[in-house]
Structure 1
Amino acid sequence: MGAAATDPAPVSPGHEQPRRRIVEAAIGLLESGGRDAVTTRAVADAAGVQPPAIYRLFGDKDGLLEAVAEHGFATFLASKRVDPDPPDLIEDLRAGWDLAVEFGLTHPALYTLMYSEPSATASAAYRTGIEILRGRIRRLAAGGWLRVDEELAAAIIHATARGAVLTWLSLPEGDRRSALLTALREAMVTAVTHAEPAVRKPGPAGAARALRAALPDQTALSGAEQYLLREWLGRLATED
């Protein structure tokens, strides 16, 4: 791939319409004929432009595919429903996972391209989506639901959703059962969350009390470190 891991340059208003038409034409070819169908000539014909326009707007075919992947991430991001204060954090986690999997199953060729491009993590829409996921995980952690650390939770959620999509797509249609997706989702929920919240009251005070209660059972800290941490947690525990 030729593009560096930076945000794409702004597109001038005069180029926006043909650029979008070319990207949409490339997506149509991708979804109907796979990646091999996305040739410069075929895209130009489908978009009603001359091939030099593609090189002028995207640099080369790799640049075009990166733009297609970015469009995919932006489309997925637009479908996300973000509740900053969901009534049920576990159901919110399930709903987010289901949405990601549904997008992949609805747009299989585009989804595969999105996550096969080395520059995927450079996408602004991808990074925004990751921040939404991290916000969801942070709420789980603050509520005492999180079983693992936040970075590992994000990796597990991402890996299981992508694995579910790719596994489903690899199966013959007659072997595709919704029970598989449900089982994978529930395995993800079990891996990253507790059955009951470890902290009964949300906020730092409840979390501090829970951690302070668990300190005598751990051996990773020295006596002096435990004393200092207990002092800090004691202060936080009274901030109701």
Structure 2
Amino acid sequence: MSEERRAARRQVLQVAAKLLEEGGSEAVSTRAVAAAAGITAPALYRMFEDKDGLLGELAAYGFEMYLEEKREALAQTPDDPVADLYLGWDLHVDFGLRHPAFYMLMYGTVRPGRRPPAADEAHALLVRLLGRAAEAGHLRIPVAQATRVIHAATTGATLALIGEEPSQQDLSTSARLRDTIIASVTTDPPASSGSDLASRALTLDAALETALTSGHPGTGTGVPLRATETALLREWLQQLAG
């Protein structure tokens, strides 16, 4: 796609985003978007095929906005993986309440196997935050399980708040749920006595994951084990983690 066509597409998405914010997904008809963008309906169809295609691109546009805000906020915090989990929760809920129509499009109309790349990137950001917590010995359940728990809880909390009248939205509910959920998946650093076996197993598993994914071609992974041995070790560590 040429730079000119990419810029035109971006401009139409910005126009559609404004209509979405002002009137919800019902306001984003192909006719309304084409008129607001100053283009013909056939030109719009050539860009997005149909309304579903346009809404899919809008969802991706929303994830991009969300990621930009979240990365910027997290970059300004101290290096504390657990504190970042609390901040990440609050940023997620805040974005949903400031952009409810976008949030409903992003998370309320999810279809299996049809997530935009930016949604996968948002998911990967949560996985990285939890991976850092695991490496520091602060996680009590595997990263994949903790990711599912926190994703489900933050999404549910945000959708519940969006469904309330603005005057009735009580952020203390989200804060209580946040504290309960994060406390359920995190723990204090392992004691020197080695009594927290599950946490230590998760810490080693997270370190192995980092070594395996950060290796460079021709230099190895930094794990002096064969692939089958590494897989078996990680299986044992997952069992120890419970």
Question: Would the TM-score normalized by the shorter structure come out above 0.5?
Answer: yes
- With the shorter chain as reference, the TM-score category is 0.7 to 0.9
Pick the aligned partner of 1:149 from 142, 146, 160: 142
SS in 2 for 1:122: coil
Cα deviations by residue, 1:93-112 (Å, 9 ceiling, x for unpaired): 10111111111111100111
Report the secondary structure of 2:32's partner residue.
helix
Match of 1:80 among 64, 70, 74: 70
CA contact (8 A) 1:134 1:150 kept: yes
Report how far residue 162 of structure 1 moved.
0.9
Greater mean alpha carbon deviation, residues 166-175 or residues 135-144: 166-175
2:125 match: 132
Partner of 2:225: none
The aligned counterpart of 1:173 is 166
Of 16, 20, 23, the match for 2:6: 16
Aligned equivalents of 2:76, 2:124: Cα separation in 1 = 12
Query: How many residues are aligned here?
Result: 199
- Counterpart CA distance in 1 for 2:185 and 2:56 is 32
Alpha-carbon distance between aligned partners in 2 of 1:200 and 1:127, rounded to the nearest angstrom:
37
Larger-Rg structure: 1
**Structure 1 residue 69: deviation in Å?**
0.6
Contact 1:144 1:200 in 2 (8 A): no
Q: Which residue of 2 aligns with 1:222?
A: none
Higher mean C-alpha displacement, 41-50 vs 140-149: 140-149
Structure 2 partner of 1:64: 54
Identity %: 40
Distance in 1 between the 2:113 and 2:17 partners?
A: 16
The structure 2 residue matched to 1:43, chosen from 30, 33, 41, is 33
Q: TM-score, normalised by structure 2?
A: 0.73
Tell me, which stretches of 5 or more residues in structure 2 are unaligned? 194-198, 205-231, 238-242
- The answer (yes or no) to whether the contact 1:44–1:54 under 8 Å persists in 2 is yes
For 2:19, the aligned partner's letter is: L
Q: Which of 88, 99, 102 is residue 110 of structure 1 equivalent to?
A: 102
Contact residue 17 and residue 58 of structure 2 kept, 8 A = yes
What's the C-alpha RMSD, in Å, of the aligned pairs?
2.8
- Mapped contact 1:25–1:47 kept (Cα < 8 A): yes
2:45 corresponds, among 51, 55, 58, to 55
Q: CA deviation at 1:89?
A: 2.1
* 1:40-80 deviation line (CA, Å, top 9, x unaligned): 11010111111111110111111111110111111111112
